[in-house]
Amino acid sequence: MNENLADTVSTIINYLSGSQSDTGEFKSQCFLPGAPEKGWYYTGVSPFLTANILYCIQDIEHPKVNEITEKGCAFLLSLMGPGGLWKYWEDNNGIMEYNVPYDVDDTCLVSCLLKKNGYTFPNNQQIILANLDRDHNFNTWLLPRVKNLRYPDKFLLLFNQYIKSIRIFRPNRKIPNKEPISNYWDNEAAVSAHALLFLGENEATIPAIDKIIADVLNGKMNLQYYDSSMHIITYQGHISTESKNLRSCKRRFS
């Protein structure tokens, strides 16, 4: 690393260290189509931004990275729900107007980070894999689906979460055409990329890997919460370290 780049990286790490709260959180803000008048605002405690930031700095050699990571992981563990699941914000937090279910995106980002740093948490892979649809996409929301019936306790957990958060799946008069804020079957390439980052390549995930490769090569990536295809390609670069399929895809880009 040249001197100028090293100085820039050090400045960024020092900034992150100063921005991290005492609890280990990096505060997330959101802009919701159902409440545009609010602009960007704090969601209440959320694992999303913290997990993303921590993952991005994992391979940086700097004396403060370990401290930032340890504080951040402790914060993420404090937000863990039953069965090793995470959601974008906590229920009834007094800030957001409605609750959200547990989701694949937050769960896989946090799980990948905790696993990388040697932390233990409940095995959540069955419930994540049950969220694969027929087209080999990972549905964003962890909701009661037919595949979960094999695990009655998990099905009941997800059903209760669905009831708590049902408002986001109902027509919203504040959105054009009264569309709901979210859909039961929401999926997108970035969520699948995060799921594969955590799950890795195995018999159960190979069809999903093939699907995301095809989508990238054909330029047909479905993006909803993420607005840039580079996010998917960047995470594919991380996955390709372990994945034969994605290493092949990477060669085709070069």
Provide the residue ranges of all domains of the chain, joining segments of one domain with +: 3-187
Nearest to 127 by CA among 141, 137, 116, 114: 141
> DSSP 3-state assignment of 81?
strand
Confidence (pLDDT) at 235:
53
Nearest 5°: CA angle at 161, between 27 and 23?
A: 25
**CA nearest 194: which of 214, 215, 208?**
208
DSSP designation for 150? G
User: Tell me, what's the pLDDT at 253?
Assistant: 42
Q: Which are the contacts of 166, defined by CB distance < 8 A and separation ≥ 6?
A: none
Look up residue 91 and give its amino acid: D
**What tens-digit pLDDT sequence spans the chain (254 residues)?**
677 888 899 999 999 999 999 999 999 888 776 677 778 888 889 999 999 999 999 999 999 999 999 999 999 999 999 999 999 998 888 888 889 999 999 999 999 999 999 999 999 999 999 999 999 999 999 999 999 899 899 999 999 999 999 999 999 887 888 889 899 999 988 899 999 999 999 999 999 999 988 887 887 777 777 766 655 555 555 554 455 554 444 444 44
Return the half-sphere exposure (C-beta side, CA atoms, 13 A cut-off) of residue 95: 17
pLDDT of residue 234: 56
Task: Say how many Å lie between the first and final Cα of the chain, rounded.
Answer: 23
- β-pair partners for 151: none
Q: Give CA–CA dist 252/153, Å, rounded.
A: 44
E-strand spans in the chain? Answer: 29-30, 41-42
Please give the pLDDT value at position 218: 83
